Amino acid sequence: MKRGLITWDKAELPPSVFEARLARARAALTEHDLPALLVYSDVWRSTEGRHLTNYMPYWNRSLIVIPREQPPVLLCGLSPRVYPWIKSVTIFEEIRPASKLVPTLLQLCAERGWTQLGVLDLPRLPHEVFLPLGASNVEAYDVKLDLTDDAELAMQRRAAEMAREILTVELPKGVGLTDYQFSGLLELACRRAGAEDLVLLFGTNDSAPRPARGVMLGDKYSVAVALEYRGHWARVTQSLPL
């Protein structure tokens, strides 16, 4: 479950990073002679949209449209009351309500005279987007982008460092607790440090790492932490004794 606050520290991840990423996306559009790039985003598949725009959704599906020569547009079903917050933590200047994603997308295409679209990873679009888009008069073409750069790697390293630092401090505290109890302590530490999402797996002498199940932790056990920091995931495993 994502925590209740996502912010954008522009000193940590400056706007220039996104300008460079959008430039690469637009270069791909120019190469394929396409007017705009479509990026699907939801809580389970937010990496691409986050990389390009810093948008990380809460339990909502969205479409990100990146025109070749205009600012990006966000189409989403969230209430307009959260649009000021979205604009404060992303690069979007324009957000359109879209309770029905594809009809809203096709309206935008009609307004701008687009009969073609590039789609990031077209084969992985969900059926409720893929099928009506395929049945429309807008032709969709698969586009690939390299989503790795120095800023991406630096943020992933920061997430890994956070997980390692927390595990080093907290691991000895788990001795004599159940994995349920210790998972609460770990989650508290991770959330306070800024983790937005978290997966914890515990391993004991007789088991591979798995979710908490009420097992008492002795003086030898391991914890695997998958931690999300500002949309960037890292997985770290440490064992006791350290």
Q: Are residues 109 and 191 in the same domain?
A: no
What's the pLDDT at 24?
97
Q: Are residues 115 and 65 in the same domain?
A: yes
Residue at a domain's end among 111, 143, 175 = 143
Asked if 232 and 165 touch (Cβ cutoff 8 Å), the reply is no
Q: Give the phi and the psi of residue 44 in degrees, each rounded to 5.
A: -90, -20
Closest CA to 224 of 200, 190, 197, 198: 200
Q: Are residues 33 and 130 in the same domain?
A: yes
What's the pLDDT at 190?
95
What's the pLDDT at 1?
54
- The single-letter code of the amino acid at 19 is E
Q: Residue 149 falls within a domain, yes or no?
A: no
CATH number at residue 22: 3.40.350.10
Q: How many domains does the chain have?
A: 2
Residue at a domain's end among 85, 114, 143 = 143
Q: Are residues 91 and 114 in the same domain?
A: yes
Q: Residue 6 falls within a domain, yes or no?
A: no
Dihedral of alpha carbons 195, 156, 200, 185, sign: negative
Residue at a domain's end among 81, 108, 143 = 143
Q: Residue 3 falls within a domain, yes or no?
A: no
Whether this prediction's pTM lies above 0.85 is answered by yes
Q: Are residues 34 and 139 in the same domain?
A: yes
Q: What is the dihedral angle through the alpha carbons of 202, 168, 228, 122, rounded to the nearest 10 degrees?
A: -70
The radius of gyration computed from the CA coordinates of the chain, to the nearest angstrom, equals: 21
Q: What angle do CA 236, 237, 242 make, to 5 degrees?
A: 125
Q: Are strands 62-67 and 73-76 parallel, antiparallel or unpaired?
A: antiparallel
Q: Residue 62 falls within a domain, yes or no?
A: yes
Q: What is the pLDDT of residues 108-165, one digit of tens each?
A: 999 999 999 999 999 999 999 999 999 999 999 999 999 999 999 999 999 999 999 9
What's the pLDDT at 206?
67
Q: Are residues 136 and 21 in the same domain?
A: yes
CA distance 189 to 84: 30
Q: Residue 153 falls within a domain, yes or no?
A: no
Q: Residue 66 falls within a domain, yes or no?
A: yes
What's the pLDDT at 3?
64
CATH number at residue 230: 3.90.230.10
Q: Are residues 211 and 188 in the same domain?
A: yes
What's the pLDDT at 143?
97
Q: Residue 210 falls within a domain, yes or no?
A: yes
Structure tokens of 81? Answer: 């009351």
CB atoms within 10 A of CB 84: 9
Q: Are residues 191 and 133 in the same domain?
A: no
Asked if 205 and 195 touch (Cβ cutoff 8 Å), the reply is no
What's the pLDDT at 2?
64
Q: Are residues 109 and 227 in the same domain?
A: no
Q: Which residues of the chain have pLDDT under 50?
A: none
Q: What's the domain range around 175?
A: 158-240
Q: Residue 151 falls within a domain, yes or no?
A: no
Q: Are residues 128 and 235 in the same domain?
A: no
- Residue 57 class from Cβ within 10 Å (0-12 exposed, 13-18 middle, 19+ buried)? buried
Q: Are residues 51 and 133 in the same domain?
A: yes
Q: Are residues 109 and 180 in the same domain?
A: no
Asked if 132 and 102 touch (Cβ cutoff 8 Å), the reply is yes
